[in-house]
Structure 1
Amino acid sequence: ISCNSTLIEECALGPLNITSVSVDASFTAFPIALRILLAIVMMCMIAIGFLGNAIVCLIVYQKPAMRSAINLLLATLAFSDIMLSLLCMPFTAVTIITTNWHFGAYFCRVSAMLYWFFVLEGVAILLIISVDRFLIIVQRQDKLNLHRAKIMIAISWGISFCISFPSVVCWTIVEVPARAPQCVLGYTEFPADRVYVVLLVVSVFFIPFSIMLYSYLCILNTVRRNAVRIHNHADSLCLSQVSKLGLMGLQRPHQMNVDMSFKTRAFTTILILFIGFSVCWLPHTVFSLLSVFSRRFYYSPSFYTISSCVLWLTYLKSVFNPVIYCWRIKKFREACMEFMPKTFKILPKVPGRTRRRIRPSTVYVCSEQQSAV
């Protein structure tokens, strides 16, 4: 059931009075054992996504030292993942195990709007962070402060809402899950609906992916050039010292320790998030376009199976982000340990190897003395 030409009157008059829609017999659904397993896995994903992202938000809220611009953006990304886990994933889990949509046609459109709303917000935050890394490392301009971050977050919420809102007021095709475990964009031949779908997938994937890919390629090129420049300069310093020390100076130089660019570890973390975003969202983007433009694909017997796998992969990103935070960001990892009950802290805390923070312009050369370039 979709908001097409046969249901224009129903869409204009109000929500459809439908409480349950079953998967057609001609469509292939999962066996009952596999449906139960997928529902259990999705419930675990809901728990991990909620708890992990809630800890991220709690850390930024409770610790003043963590309230930087970048951490505020990460907390906003975590909040969007929390909302996605609570307001979208449970209904998908119920539909997977029962093969029925029990929540009405109007809530179908609401859930579709919420799904795209929180996804768009998460993508917008990743885009802001990527541009910020580009400005810092390539342009050497650190312009993102806490006040500007709050303004950009507010703007991103507004833009995400405006783009996702048409699906709830029947301005586009939204299918009650007869062929998918969640409300999806259905097949349509109306040009206006197809234009909206193209706008949606371009906003969610193609524009952010292109900008982030360009930013990271520029950053990697900058880091590579800086590494070559620093290495050549260090070699020249070593040769000048060898000429002064004579043959006794031809010993193996100490390991040179160079901080090639400030905040490069944060860049690596965001790069991993970008790779996760690409892997999780490229299949869904292709799936959405084929669903709307290809009648053969949309009405194929395998559509339910494909849609379930693709939707599961997009939800996996909500679980993926907090794991990356705790793995890559030491302060978040230490804060997570503080929030854990003492009964879970079995192993004693092992002091990590401290690494002195050095400025990008400082080079440690062969000798024990350091030289600033």
Structure 2
Amino acid sequence: MENITMAFNCTLDEDNCTEEAYMPYSARPETYILPAVFSFILIIGVTGNGILVLTILRHANMRNVPNTYVLSLALGDMLVIVTCVPFTITVYVLDSWPFGLLLCKVSECAKDVSIGVSVFTLTALSADRFFAIVDPMRKLHTAGTGRRATRFTSCIAALIWCLAAICALPATFSYIRFFRVNKDVTFKTCYPFPEEFGPNYPKIVLLCRFIVYYFLPLTIIGVFYLSMASHLVQSTRNIPGEMQGQVKQIKARKKVAKMVLAFVIIFAICFLPQHVFMLWFYNYPDAQKDYNSFWHLFRIVGFCLAFANSCINPIALYLVSGSFRKYFKR
């Protein structure tokens, strides 16, 4: 739905249309810039996530609980890169959706599934780090050790994919909608909000997405990390000097926690602009009238950041994880 012209005063079933200024795609700078940006995201995303998946699968000592979640993240990123990015490139080159109804539904569903997998996996990772640092005996009792813990985590990851698929069900209602900009210009786009569901349907869906995919998970993650930080401050004061083994163990867990925090911060930054724009556009009464070059640029930047999130995680992991960096160089 990203190629919708954001100012239109009429639809196909209206006879009286006011003339709207329409800039042809050939005259828009994003027509030439964004395909290059998305091509870069496609190449980096497929390469980075592909190497990440192969690294975890090929090396047995990389197959632990945190990396099982990281593997799930990488697969979710690969899903959105392969099923959405190639189609999105043409959206900014052609004024109408050229791929038909099936790919419209697949693209929208894959995008929502990927977002769900990302944020739910980050929440699970944060919970895992919380129990590993704050209450390791409870985590040991719940998940066991070694292969048992990894199998337990794989089950959680599978449940996360199922939950993400359920949350993506509204995207299955996506359809090809025709819009009219003025008397002479019409186009069709992949649109996720059926008109027969009423004018409040987009508002409800977007608010639910913001709560389920952004506000609620990040709030839970924030609580985990604040509790974790408080526990680490107290434990550092209380650990006797001779318990060097425990100190090393805590340091190792802190490194993993920092890696997860880096993923969370990246996700929060990448998806906030898109949520802000969509909530503003569908809830502010004068949004179509006030849509200007600032909001146009803000929308495009937010859209690019949301897709860029799918290729940043392997780079962040390379920077914060020495073990992954070692295997990556091999």
User: 79, 91, 94: which is aligned to 2:90?
Assistant: 94
Note the alpha carbon deviations across 1:317-344, whole angstroms, 9 max, x for none.
1121000111111221121112xxxxxx
Does residue 225 of structure 2 align to residue 194 of structure 1? no
SS state of the match for residue 48, structure 2?
helix
Determine the structure 2 residue equivalent to 1:212. 221
CA RMSD of aligned residues (A): 3.2
Could you tell me how far apart the structure 1 residues matched to 2:188 and 2:90 are? Answer: 8
> 1:315 is matched with which residue: 283, 307, 310?
307
Q: Tell me, what secondary structure is at the counterpart of 1:263?
A: helix
- The whole-number CA distance in structure 1 between the counterparts of 2:110 and 2:21 is 29
Aligned residue for 2:286, secondary structure, equals: helix
- How far does the alpha carbon of each residue in 1:74-124 deviate from its partner, in whole angstroms, 9 at most, with x for none? 011001101111111111122123344222345333311211111111111
Distance 1:262 1:158 in 2: 31
AA matched with 1:38: L
Aligned to 1:50: 46
Q: Which one of the candidate residues 233, 237, 243 is aligned to 1:228? A: 237
> Which moves more between the two structures, 316-325 or 301-310?
301-310
Whether the 8 Å CA contact 2:45–2:81 is kept in 1: the answer is: yes
CA drift at 1:272: 0.8
Which amino acid counterpart does residue 203 of structure 2 have in structure 1? R
Instruction: Please tell me whether the aligned partners of residues 187 and 291 of structure 1 are also in contact (alpha carbons under 8 angstroms).
Output: no
1:132 aligns with 2:128: yes
The structure whose residues are more often helix, as a share, is 2
By how many angstroms is 1:154 displaced? 1.3
Return the alpha-carbon distance in structure 1 between the equivalents of residues 180 and 329 of structure 2. 44
Give the letter aligned to residue 286 of structure 1. Answer: V
Match of 2:76 among 77, 80, 83: 80
SS in 2 for 1:101: coil
Instruction: Give the one of 57, 60, 75 matched to 2:56.
Output: 60
Counterpart of 2:281 in structure 1: which amino acid?
Answer: S
The one-letter amino acid of 1:158's match is C
Output the CA distance in 1 between the equivalents of 2:178 and 2:221: 34
Distance across 1 between alignment mates of 2:88 and 2:96:
10
- Is 1:275 aligned to 2:289, yes or no? no
Q: How many residue pairs align between the two structures?
A: 291
State whether residues 49 and 74 of structure 2, in contact with CA within 8 Å, keep that contact through their aligned partners in structure 1.
Answer: yes
What is residue 5 of structure 2 aligned with on the other side?
Answer: none
2-side partners of 1:287 and 1:274: how far apart?
A: 21
Whether the 8 Å contact between 2:83 and 2:106 is mirrored in structure 1 is no
Name the residue aligned to 1:346.
none
Distance in 2 of aligned mates of 1:294 and 1:312: 23
| Corresponding residue to 2:154 among 132, 135, 150 | 150
| 1:116 paired to 2:112 | yes
Q: Which of the pair has more CA radius of gyration?
A: 1
Segment of structure 1 superposing worse, 285-294 or 200-209: 285-294
1:287 alignment partner in structure 2: 277
What displacement does 1:288 show?
Answer: 2.4
Contact 1:84 1:118 in 2 (8 A): yes
Structure 1 position 165 matched with structure 2 position 205? no
- Relative to structure 1, the CA distance from residue 292 to residue 105 in structure 2 (aligned partners, 3 Å threshold; closer, same or farther) is farther
Taking a change above 3 Å as real, the CA distance of residues 169 and 32 of structure 1, as seen in their structure-2 partners, is closer
Aligned to 1:21: none
Aligned position for 2:6: none
Distance (whole Å) between structure 1 residues aligned to residue 177 and residue 233 of structure 2: 49
- Structure-2 change in CA distance of 1:103 and 1:215 (3 Å): same
SS at 1:205 equivalent: helix
Partner deviation per Cα, 1:60-87 (whole Å, 9 max, x = no partner) = 1111221112111101100110111111
User: What runs of 5+ residues in structure 1 fail to find an aligned partner?
Assistant: 2-23, 238-256, 339-373
Q: Secondary structure at the match of 2:38?
A: helix
Give the Cα–Cα distance (whole angstroms) in 2 for the partners of residues 317 and 282 of structure 1.
Answer: 11
Quick check: 1:123–1:208 contact (8 Å CA) kept in 2? yes
Q: Tell me, what secondary structure is at the counterpart of 1:332? A: helix
Secondary structure (helix, strand or coil) at the match of 2:99 reads coil
Contact 1:176–1:183 (CA<8 Å) still a contact in 2?
no
The 10-residue stretch of structure 1 (92-101 or 276-285) with the greater mean CA deviation from structure 2: 92-101
Tell whether the 8 Å contact from 1:28 to 1:304 is kept in structure 2 after alignment: no
Match of 1:4 in 2: none
Unmatched 5+ stretches in structure 2: 2-19, 144-148, 182-186
| TM-score relative to the length of structure 1 | 0.69
Q: Give the direction of change, closer, same or farther, for the CA distance of 1:271–1:97 in structure 2 (3 Å limit).
A: same
CA contact (8 A) 1:45 1:316 kept: yes
Q: Deviations over 1:267-296 (max 9, x none)?
A: 001111111111111112222222332353
Worse overlay, 181-190 or 269-278: 181-190
- 2: distance between equivalents of 1:220 and 1:177? 51
Identity %: 21
Amino acid at match of 1:138: V
Alpha carbons of 1:306 and 1:31: their partners in 2 closer, same or farther (altered >3 Å)? farther
CA contact (8 A) 1:269 1:328 kept: yes
